[in-house]
Amino acid sequence: MIELRGEKVVLRTMEREHCRTLWEHYELEEPIPTEPVRPGHSIEGSDKWFEEIQEQQGKTQIYLGIFSPDGNLLGDIQLSEIDLRNRTASLGAGIARRRDRRKGYCTDAALVILRFGFEHLDLYRISAVTASNNTGAIRVLDKLGFALVAIAMAGLAGLFWMDIIEIWHIYAVNFLASIGRAFQGLAMITSTPLMVPEKHLARIQGTNQTLHGALSMGGPPLGALALAVFEMHLILAIDVLTAMLAIVPLIFIMIPQPKRMEEKRSQADGIWADMQEGFRYLWRWHGLRNVLLIAAVLNIFGNTKMTISPLLITNHFNGGATELGWFNSAWGMGIVLGGLLVGAWGGFRRRIMTTIFGWIVYGIGTILVGIAPHTRLALAITGIAVSGVGSSLINAPLRALLQANVDPHLQGRVFGALHSSVQSTTMLGLIVIGPVTDVFGPQPWFLAAGVLTLVLGTSARMIPSVVRIEDKEP
């Protein structure tokens, strides 16, 4: 018997009559649900569901009822596909009656079961995937993302304040914060097409790239100023405050809902099945598959190059903190300029041509960094700025392309699969970059990244399935 308490709800093991109650009382938001369900009023159907839960309870899943403090059954929540060897699991939840939704019950329940998963089951990663038109789930995931970042940073601030901080604490907090940012990113990308006309998606993504570049450019000097003025626990408190400022508007802002599509799925389907569907969708789309294969190779070099920029500045250009600051700020400035360009221009009629053009610009800029003599730091700074422009030209139209062409009910799964692919190749690059830099130094990595990007970007223009990627969905 499991019982977990939160601020608004109590989670506990469900009995047979609880399954019957949920089976009977579940109310759809619309004639077609945001997520596929099979409501019914038969005792046999609810009993079969109860037996399925009991068969896997405590083995590969933890399935609990969501109760109010006075004992009323509100819904259900589960950690499914629990893999104790790899320390991973998937999260799912639902509130039965419409009258009990949008009151924070699901968010509170998710926080409680996430804490249980990390602290008691010793899990390392808990994922969640939702359909882009499931606005309730998007709101929960978005709030969870900001909340996890806030909780992680608040904990780190407390450790600094008590002067008991250790290096592993920082690693652990960064890990938890990355989970929160994953929730945020997925929720934001999949909800954007619900609010923005298709013709403006590229401009919106360009604006997002501008904001990202501004943070990359302004973050380091602002961080240095904060370190000079405040103690570390106060600086981290600022992070907590900004996270709370992001959470509060989500309580009141409603995301519009498009027409929904009904799916037929079995009881056994879960988050892993959704991820598999996302990967299958990516693979069946021949043009996108080729784009992702090119991007996977480039990510090994491109997404990791800035991690060795301190070595490049100090070892090759004999610079210090000031020179490194100029170099990193130039990268951010390039992203800002590229984002402004896409935001104002919108890109070529075929979005993929803007991405290909971005690869070429990115490659040229990175090559300039890779060939700059040790006395020509200005050339390297110019090159990294050009590379930043190319980065925005790559990412903004490519994301807009996917948002415009992927079925709305699949966008959460597709973007989840896409981001998993990107992160896996980036991790491979981070593993390789250290030994390679130790042997050859940092500059050859930039040169290799630039040449490879330029060659593959130019070659992409000659691949028919890539050029015609927007003509037909898989």
Give the CATH number, domain containing residue 396.
1.20.1250.20
The amino acid at residue 390 is G
Question: Which range of residues forms the domain containing residue 12?
Answer: 1-81+89-96
Q: Tell me if 460 is assigned to some domain.
A: yes
Q: Tell me if 147 is assigned to some domain.
A: no
Q: Tell me if 260 is assigned to some domain.
A: no
Position 67 scores a pLDDT of: 92
Q: Tell me if 131 is assigned to some domain.
A: no
- Contact by Cβ (8 Å): 308, 369: no
The amino acid at residue 208 is N
Q: Which residues of the chain have pLDDT under 50?
A: 30-41, 131-133, 258, 260-268
Position 210 scores a pLDDT of: 76
Position 375 scores a pLDDT of: 92
**What is the H or E stretch that residue 354 is in?**
helix 351-371
Distances 465 to 121, 295, 352 between C-alpha atoms, Å: 46, 15, 11
Distances 65 to 72, 160, 196, 246, 269 between C-alpha atoms, Å: 10, 38, 37, 29, 19
* 167-215 pLDDT tens trace: 777 777 777 666 666 566 656 666 666 666 766 666 777 777 777 677 7
- Contact by Cβ (8 Å): 309, 387: no
Beta bridge partners of 63: 78
Q: Tell me if 423 is assigned to some domain.
A: yes
Domain boundary pick from 30, 63, 96: 96
The total domain count for the chain is 2
* HEC assignment per residue over the chain: CCEEECCCCEEEECCHHHHHHHHHHCCCCCCCCCCCCCCCCCHHHHHHHHHHHHHHECCCEEEEEEECCCCCEEEEEEEEEEECCCCEEEEEEEECCHHHCCCCHHHHHHHHHHHHHHHCCCCCEEECCCCCCCHHHHHHHHHHHHHHHHHHHHHHHHHHHCCCCCHHHHHHHHHHHHHHHHHHHHHHHHHHHHCCCHHHHHHHHHHHHHHHHHHHHHHHHHHHHHHHHCCHHHHHHHHHHHHHHHHHHHHHCCCCCCCCCCCCCCCCCCHHHHHHHHHHHHHHCHHHHHHHHHHHHHHHHHCCHHHHHHHHHHHHCCCCHHHHHHHHHHHHHHHHHHHHHHHHHCCCCCHHHHHHHHHHHHHHHHHHHHHCCCCCHHHHHHHHHHHHHHHHHHHHHHHHHHHHHCCHHHHHHHHHHHHHHHHHHHHHHHHHHHHHHHHHCCHHHHHHHHHHHHHHHHHHCCCHHHHCCCCCCC
Q: Tell me if 206 is assigned to some domain.
A: no
Q: Tell me if 357 is assigned to some domain.
A: yes
Q: Tell me if 232 is assigned to some domain.
A: no
Measured between alpha carbons, how far is 153 from 449 in angstroms, rounded to an integer?
34
Position 171 scores a pLDDT of: 73
Six-digit token string for 114? 């996430």
Domain boundary pick from 67, 96, 125: 96
Domain boundary pick from 46, 73, 96: 96
Position 224 scores a pLDDT of: 66
Position 383 scores a pLDDT of: 95
Give the CATH number, domain containing residue 32.
3.40.630.30
Position 35 scores a pLDDT of: 43
